[in-house]
Amino acid sequence: MENNIDKILSKKIFDKKNIITLLSITNDEDKKKLFDKAYNIKKKHVGNYVHLRGLLEFSNICTKNCKYCGIRSDNKKAYRYDIPDDEIKKCVLHAWENGYGSMVFQSGERKDKNFIEHLNDILIYSKKITNNEIGITLSCGEQSAETYKKWFELGAHRYLLRIETTNEDLYYKIHPKDKNHSFQERIQALKDLKNTGYQTGTGVMIGLPFQTIEDLADDLIFFKDIDIDMVGMGPYIEHKDTPLYNYKDMLMPQIERFNLTIKMIAILRIMMKDINIASSTALQAIVKNGRMQGLKAGTNVIMPNLTPTKYIENYFLYENKPCLKEYSKEYFKLLEKNIIEAGDTIQYYKWGDPIHYFKRNSI
Ligand code: SAM
Ligand code: SF4
């Protein structure tokens, strides 16, 4: 017999009430319907392929003070690093030689001249040593439109900047309210990225203190409204040396944050059929093989962490962050096996750009 979930899933467009109903599903039968629908849409519109991005957390020095993040500038316990160029080059070559189409260069947020020029150099040599073949995604926070343009000209063509939450009041509960942390400027940065020509990605954390199911529905509607190309969403995971840790008693259990994230992914895949959606590392921090459950709910991007071990332990955003040594052959083989068992295929040697980007630019 057709129930309410069948009716919602057969609709072309979900309204906020529909999204809230889907996010509230608890029974296994309805969950299966949601995930199957999302997976079939993924297969039809973007294929059951996984695009790899080699993640390099090249510096954990940050000028910001986000209240949830273990590498915020006020956390004096974090040992700070900047990976030297020769080691960055090694990682880039490793990614390229092993068929990763793209890299993600991620760091804390700095807007000083030294940082900007250093990243200029990283982009120039990364392209040069890979015959211009490696695709480059950046995740280095808010920058001026001019800086975004410079990095784009030097070969970066994707940028990830999570809005973190689209509820402005909640934004200021999880960030200091000062000139360094502005919700409006974050929105402007996303617009600047799109205007520069980047394939633009955003995302939110799920299960934050004070966050409601209505907020999460609004987040999904926001992704659609700004017509984003890529999304990376992950469960919020507490870190004891951050101010948000004081609210740990009001959090839902981690496994519920995980389950909610998987539902967010599936609903988003149905709403935005041809974008790229990543299985975030934070999924793996809660459930072994969490990223594979992401694939089954509609994700098509995985970012194996290529940061050398001696640095990875200091890019400690949250508790139990998995130190996956995915640059090692054994770990990588295991990842590949898990992806195949999940029913997907890795697309080697391809950039794996979001189809959505080309469609919206051809209009
Ligand atoms: N500094 C850049 C920025 O903030 O956009 C990029 C690096 S930042 C570490 C990347 C992402 O990590 C953030 O967008 C945030 O969503 C996520 N993150 C930070 N702390 C987290 C936590 N405690 N739990 C889950 N995700 C977290
Ligand atoms: Fe810095 Fe990004 Fe962490 Fe905020 S989330 S403190 S900007 S690294």
Q: What is the CATH number for 350?
A: 3.20.20.70
Mapped onto helix, strand or coil, the DSSP state of residue 107 is strand
Compute the distance between CA of residue 240 and CA of residue 141 in angstroms, rounded to an integer. Answer: 23
Give the per-residue pLDDT at 270: 98
Compute the distance between CA of residue 308 and CA of residue 362 in angstroms, rounded to an integer. Answer: 40
Residue 238 lies in a domain: yes
Q: Is the CB of 203 under 6 A from ligand 2?
A: no
Beta bridge partners of 104: 55, 137
Residue 58 lies in a domain: no
Give the per-residue pLDDT at 313: 79
Please report, to the nearest 10 degrees, the dihedral formed by the alpha carbons of residues 115, 117, 122, 128 taken in order. 180
Nearest CA to ligand 2 atom 8: 108
Question: From ligand 2's centre to the CA of 303, what distance in Å?
Answer: 19
Nearest CA to ligand 1 atom 14: 162
Give the per-residue pLDDT at 328: 81
CA distances (Å), origin 58, targets 95, 163, 227, 284, 355: 14, 22, 29, 21, 28
Give the per-residue pLDDT at 67: 98
Residue 326 lies in a domain: yes
Question: From ligand 2's centre to the CA of 10, what distance in Å?
Answer: 39
CA distances (Å), origin 194, targets 104, 188, 202, 229, 343: 18, 10, 11, 9, 33
Residue 298 lies in a domain: yes
The pTM score is: 0.97
Residue 301 lies in a domain: yes
User: Any idea which residue has 């990763």 for tokens?
Assistant: 100
CA distances (Å), origin 219, targets 47, 163, 183, 349: 25, 9, 14, 33
Range 282-305 average pLDDT? 95
Nearest CA to ligand 1 atom 5: 141
360 pLDDT band (50/70/90 cuts)? confident
Question: From ligand 2's centre to the CA of 78, what distance in Å?
Answer: 13
Nearest 5°: the CA angle 76, 80, 84 is 170
Residue 250 lies in a domain: yes
Range 334-361 average pLDDT? 94
Residue 231 lies in a domain: yes
1 pLDDT band (50/70/90 cuts)? very low
Ligand 1 residue neighbourhood (C-beta within 6 Å): 68-69, 106, 108-109, 139, 141, 161-162, 164, 205, 234, 236-237, 239, 282, 317-318
Q: Is the CB of 64 under 6 A from ligand 2?
A: yes
pLDDT tens digits, 49-68 = 999 999 999 999 999 999 99
Mutation probe of ligand 1 site: the residue of 69, 115, 180, 219 with most atoms within 8 A of C-beta: 69
Question: From ligand 1's centre to the CA of 22, what distance in Å?
Answer: 26
Question: From ligand 2's centre to the CA of 175, what distance in Å?
Answer: 10
**Which region among 89-98, 306-315, 337-346, 351-360 has the lowest average model confidence (pLDDT)?**
306-315
Domain count along the chain = 1
What token pair was written down for 289? 């093989």
pLDDT tens digits, 140-193 = 999 999 999 999 999 999 999 999 999 999 999 999 999 999 999 999 999 999
Q: Is the CB of 70 under 6 A from ligand 2?
A: no
pLDDT of 2 over the 60 cut? no
Nearest residue to 158 (alpha-carbon basis) of 111, 92, 102, 119:
102
Question: From ligand 2's centre to the CA of 13, what distance in Å?
Answer: 34
Question: From ligand 1's centre to the CA of 162, what distance in Å?
Answer: 8
Structural domain range at position 332: 5-48+157-362
pLDDT tens digits, 300-336 = 999 999 999 889 878 777 777 766 667 788 888 999 9
pLDDT tens digits, 107-139 = 999 999 999 999 999 999 999 999 999 999 999
